[in-house]
Chains A and B, each alone.
Chain A
Amino acid sequence: MISELLFMNGYETYVLSAFCFTLLSFAALYLVTKVQFVKEQNKFVTRFGSLTTDKAKTAKSQKINKEILANATKN
């Protein structure tokens, strides 16, 4: 049964390579997107840390900035 599943009537090279290519493409795209996201998030945290107290207060008044910081500390 297992050998039948793996052998696929002689088409296993084609079938498995198509599935492997798809899953590897998914993994690559996910990793690239994740790295870009983390990089941008870290940049935001660093820039936010370098702001003066007044500027930080103004920036924090924006809901979205607060959310970004909260998410960054969670990750």
Chain B
Amino acid sequence: MFKLFQPSKIFQITSKAPKYVLFLFVIVLSVGLTEALILSPEDYKQSDAVRIMYVHVPAAWISLGIFSSITFLSISGFVFKNKNFFLISKSLAPSGFVFNIIALVTGSIWGKPTWGTWWAWDARITSMLILALFYALYLISWRVYENEEKVFKISTIISILGIINVPIIKYSVDWWNTLHQPASINILSKSSIHSSMLLPLLLMTAAFALFSLLIFLMKYNTELIKIKNKGLDRL
């Protein structure tokens, strides 16, 4: 099964895929932006400020998803002794970090008209900030350490420590009395969000997921070429 994860096999797909993913991303983003900025209704309480949700929430979801994937892949890399899992994790991190920053900044912009403040040390905001720090540490570890074994170990430790924060982010709104409202979308039970708002939210989430896939593919190809460059030196 792990033959499928061989760099040469993956490169055959990843080298061709970016242009198709970019095309699909532009289409989904255009439809998503039209829905989010024009067609979706305003909220009865927050009025048009609610539209910030269409960039804030997907960015937060994707950054949490990517960090969870990084941890899962890093641990799998150790369990199955497959270096390629670490390479995939490394390639996922930049887009995850940028999505985390987007979630923090757009959240801050949304906070001003709704809560009257740009920043509050609310449990969810603080835990998202901590996640950004873990992302930064993870990315720095790949830059600082030259030794392959060492960087695999240290980046995995950072991701394991960081993953403890993920359920805290998810359940912070239930565990503590925070400025954030409880989740409006539940997979297991009925969501409290109206379908006219759910559609643009899902479209924007799909667009953001496609963008992170695009960045991942480009970054992964860059990493593979870097390895091959070193290989040419050894010939």
**Once the chains bind, are B215 and A33 in contact (CB under 8 Å)?**
yes
Report the contact-size class of chain A (Cβ under 8 Å from the partner).
Answer: 35 or more
Interface pair A21/B48, CB less than 8 Å apart: no
Would A18 and B232 be within 8 Å (CB), given that A5-B38, A40-B222 are in contact?
Answer: no
Task: Say whether B8 contacts A63, CB under 8 Å.
Answer: yes
- Smallest Cβ-Cβ distance to B109: which chain A residue: A18
B40 to chain A, nearest CB (A): 12
Main DSSP-derived SS at the B contact region: helix
Residues of B at the A interface (CB closer than 8 Å) are: 7-8, 11-12, 15, 33, 36-38, 42, 47-49, 51-52, 55-56, 59, 94-95, 98, 101-102, 105-106, 109-110, 112-113, 211, 214-215, 218-219, 221-222, 224-226, 228-229, 231-233, 235
What 1/0 mask marks residues of chain A from 16 to 38 whose CB sits below 8 Å from any chain B CB?
A: 01110110011001100110110
Nearest CB in chain A: distance from B216 CB, A: 9
Q: Which residues does chain B contribute within 8 Å of A44, judged by CB atoms?
A: 225, 228-229, 232
Q: Which residues of A contact B51 (CB under 8 A)?
A: 8, 11, 15, 19
Known: A14-B110, A22-B102. A47 touches B52 (CB 8 A): no
